[in-house]
A = this chain, B = another copy of it.
Amino acid sequence: MPDRQDAVPRTKEYATGRVTRRAIIAEAAEAFAEKGFHGASLRGIAREAGVDHATLMHHFGNKTALLLAVIEWHDAQDAATSLPAMDFTVEGVVDAFVGVAERNRATPGLVQLLSTLSAEAGREGHPARAALQQRHQVLVDVFAAIIRLRRDEGAVDDDGLSPEVHAALIVSTWEGLQVYDALHPGDVDVPELLARTLRRELGLDGPLSG
């Protein structure tokens, strides 16, 4: 695998840096998913993208920020099509998120990277902390709203937990399942267990049997 110096043609748009950024992100997505976060090197990614190591650093600042850019780019492809199409009903929300879990099976490398990042960002001052907190918060807000709705409908009974805490418990289970699945391949079926959890917690398995 010698020089791919000219994989990105030096067009006018190239001079703006956008092509450079996108080329780096594309190479980084491949490298991270293939070799893992620590296994991939910024020098190698930069070389494959046809730029210098310091140029990559100029655009992204640090390795974690580059990984975040990769994840955002990956999310944008998924969310742009799936989430807007989600109707805000209990069944719609469950189907949408189970669908995300199912599509995640196609990119286990990125899921594992995201799990690692979530755990790493648990430390104050981590460069990705705010982004990961917001990422969780989006899920918690959706689930908490559904839980409130279902309690008002009488479909689930109030267990004494605030809807937000109950939602956090669901999100934690989902994330924990992804970690467990990566560590014990084949032992658990993440989309199925997520679906079971959601149906039970959101009262879709019959009147107050959950």
Contact = CB atoms under 8 A, between A and B. Distances in A.
Nearest to A121: B183
Interface stretch (A19-27, A41-49, A86-94, A162-170): A162-170
A183 B118 contact: yes
Main SS class of interface, A: helix
A164 B164 CA distance: 29
A116 B112 contact: no
A119 B188 CA distance: 16
A11 interface: no
A57 interface: no
Contact of A210 (B133, B168, B183, B210): B210
A47 to B, nearest CB: 23
Contacts of A121: 183
Contact of A169 (B175, B177, B182, B184): B177
A171 interface: yes
B184 A168 contact: yes
Interface in A60-103: none
Given A116-B119, A119-B119, A210-B210, A133 B184 contact: yes
Interface in A170-189: 171-177, 179-184, 187-188
A179 B161 CA distance: 19
Contacts of A184: 133, 136, 168
Given A115-B122, A173-B173, 8 more contacts: A116-B119, A119-B120, A121-B183, A133-B184, A169-B177, A169-B193, A169-B197, A210-B210
13 contacts: A36-B120, A38-B120, A112-B123, A116-B116, A118-B119, A118-B179, A118-B183, A133-B183, A161-B196, A168-B184, A172-B173, A175-B179, A210-B210
